[in-house]
């Protein structure tokens, strides 16, 4: 793979040390939440990113009136890639300036057509939002199954890093969740066509019935549907995470003393919890005012003394061109510790709200990276945060 196409990628291990896995003394993998002091993080890259053909699950996410619908599959323009990388690289440098270790994904040839015995699709996606694929639960570094066909091989961008973490931290467990088939049988294929003409009311009605384009045939979850709060992990049931996926997380982590909860929101296209319901610090949650929780799901938070505040209105009426995500990336934040939060630099109302809540706010220009898969939380993945596994919901 040409280095020119991947100027920001981590070098493959084979090129670093003649195939011998790298060892970084002192490296630690451990994280239990999104707010304890961040010490080591992965920041995505926009290099060589592609817009894949729509697949059944990605189709459901893209609203019918979005320009993404008509967009041609293919490589994103070099100009847009460069602009996104400028955001990502500045964000990474700022974090490093604060003493946080930053790793970048490796190069993978997303241009190749993906063919498995079960499906074929024009290309991969990229590795700008590592949060979608990577879930650090304590000392376990877990790669998610993923629900979009184009993202089936995304774990490869983190393969060498995972190997290095495994060699460097004797307590780190590297794990790949069961690989799904993503065959036509895995999806409601009639939804693919239906989403071209369904109104928002109709998609909302389907969502409230919990009918998504993804069926229960595969074990499916994206890592970004899981919200970690110490001993408790709250998982959104939606189009990228099905009930079998939540059951798998339950069976995997409950024997280790975790509790897995399912959350549902009134949302037409429920995908990834991190622009919907975000922990800010112990005892404080930020909720998207347009995506209320299902009845009764506040209870566990209320009973345990957690306050839920509604997020400020986003600064923008529309997402940037060729963006999969909604304007609510305004609340897709990276928290560095209980008092410090990174917010997209144009989101003035959101920044003011955090200021009033007692945070030091770091404005980070990031809108040019949104189209590549999300905001400041999406574009990162935890490797190590200080702190221990707390019981916030005893
Ligand atoms: O609001 O479009 C974005 C989350 C991306 N990880 C939304 C969800």
pLDDT in tens, 291-315: 999 999 999 999 999 999 999 999 9
List the 140-143 sheet strands across, edge first: 134-137, 140-143, 173-176
Full pLDDT tens readout for the chain, 394 residues = 677 888 899 877 666 767 777 889 899 999 999 999 999 999 999 999 999 988 888 877 776 666 676 667 899 999 999 999 999 999 999 999 999 999 999 988 888 899 999 999 999 999 999 999 999 999 999 999 999 999 999 999 999 999 999 999 999 999 999 999 999 999 998 776 666 667 888 889 999 999 999 999 999 999 999 999 999 999 999 999 999 999 999 999 999 999 999 999 999 889 999 999 999 999 999 999 999 999 999 999 999 999 999 999 999 999 998 898 999 999 999 999 999 999 999 999 999 999 999 999 999 999 999 999 999 999 999 999 999 999 999 9
Alpha carbon of 20 to ligand 1 centroid (Å): 38
Distance of CA 218 to the CA centre of its chain: 20
Eight-state DSSP code of residue 27: -
Q: Report angle CA 228, 232, 238 to the nearest 5 degrees.
A: 65
Break the chain into its structural domains and give their ranges: 29-385
Other C-beta atoms within 10 Å of 233: how many?
Answer: 22
User: The tokens of 17 are what?
Assistant: 């040390």
Q: Which residues line ligand 1 (CB under 6 A)?
A: 129, 132, 224, 271-272, 274-275, 325-326, 328, 374, 378
Specify the fold of 29-385: 3.75.10
Is residue 222 part of the annotated active site? The answer reads yes
Where in 28-172 does DSSP place strands (E)? Answer: 38-43, 50-51, 74-75, 101-103, 114-115, 120-121, 134-137, 140-143
Please answer whether residues 284 and 309 qualify as being in contact, where contact means their C-beta atoms are separated by less than 8 angstroms. yes
Q: Report angle CA 191, 194, 200 to the nearest 5 degrees.
A: 105
Q: Which residue, judged by its Cα, is nearest atom 3 of ligand 1?
A: 325
Sign for the CA dihedral angle at 210, 215, 217, 223 comes to negative
Catalytic-role residue among 169, 218, 222, 337: 222
Q: Are strands 284-287 and 226-229 parallel, antiparallel or unpaired?
A: unpaired
Is residue 278 part of the annotated active site? The answer reads no
Alpha carbon of 315 to ligand 1 centroid (Å): 16
Distance CA 326, CA 374 (A): 9
Is residue 272 part of the annotated active site? The answer reads yes
Alpha carbon of 352 to ligand 1 centroid (Å): 22
Distance CA 331, CA 334 (A): 9
Distances (CA, A) of 268 to 60, 61, 238, 291, 366: 9, 9, 10, 9, 25
Query: What confidence score (pLDDT) does residue 61 get?
Result: 77
Distances (CA, A) of 333 to 72, 122, 343, 364: 30, 32, 5, 10
Please answer whether residues 105 and 44 qualify as being in contact, where contact means their C-beta atoms are separated by less than 8 angstroms. yes
Tallying the residues shown for the chain, one arrives at: 394
Distances (CA, A) of 250 to 16, 234, 242, 258: 38, 11, 13, 8
Alpha carbon of 19 to ligand 1 centroid (Å): 38
């Amino acid at each position: 793979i040409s280095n020119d196409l991947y100027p920001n990628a981590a070098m493959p291990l084979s090129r670093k040390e003649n195939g011998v896995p790298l060892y970084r003394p002192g490296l630690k993998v451990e994280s239990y939440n999104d707010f304890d002091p961040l010490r080591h993080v992965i920041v995505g890259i926009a290099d060589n990113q592609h817009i894949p053909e729509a697949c059944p699950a990605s189709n459901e996410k893209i609203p019918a009136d979005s320009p993404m619908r008509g967009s041609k599959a293919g490589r994103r323009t070099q100009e847009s890639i460069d602009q996104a990388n400028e955001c990502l690289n500045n964000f990474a440098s700022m974090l490093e300036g604060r003493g946080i270790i930053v790793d970048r994904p490796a190069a993978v040839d997303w241009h190749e057509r993906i063919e498995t015995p079960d499906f074929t699709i024009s290309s991969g996606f990229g590795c700008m939002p590592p949060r979608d694929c990577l879930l650090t639960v304590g000392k376990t570094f877990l790669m998610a199954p993923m629900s979009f066909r184009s993202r089936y091989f995304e774990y490869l961008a983190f393969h060498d890093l995972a190997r290095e973490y495994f060699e460097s931290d004797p307590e780190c467990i590297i794990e790949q969740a069961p690989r799904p088939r993503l065959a036509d049988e895995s999806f409601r294929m009639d939804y693919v066509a239906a989403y071209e003409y369904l109104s928002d009311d109709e998609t909302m009605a389907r969502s409230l019935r919990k009918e998504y384009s993804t069926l229960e045939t595969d074990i499916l979850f994206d890592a970004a549907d899981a919200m970690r709060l110490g001993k408790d992990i709250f998982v959104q049931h939606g189009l990228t995470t099905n009930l079998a996926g939540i059951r798998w997380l339950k069976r995997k982590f409950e024997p280790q003393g975790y509790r897995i909860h399912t959350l549902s929101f009134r949302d037409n296209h429920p995908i990834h919890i991190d622009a919907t319901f975000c922990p800010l610090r112990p005892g404080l949650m930020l909720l998207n005012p347009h995506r209320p929780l299902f009845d009764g799901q506040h209870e566990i938070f209320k009973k345990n003394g957690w306050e839920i505040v509604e997020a400020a209105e986003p600064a923008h009426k529309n997402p940037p061109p060729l963006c999969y995500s909604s304007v609510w990336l305004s609340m897709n934040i990276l928290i560095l510790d209980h008092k410090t939060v990174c917010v997209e630099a144009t989101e003035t109302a959101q920044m003011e709200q955090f200021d009033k809540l007692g945070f030091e706010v770091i404005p980070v220009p990031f809108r040019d990276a949104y189209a590549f898969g999300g905001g400041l939380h999406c574009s990162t993945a935890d490797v190590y945060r200080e702190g221990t596994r707390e019981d916030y919901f005893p």
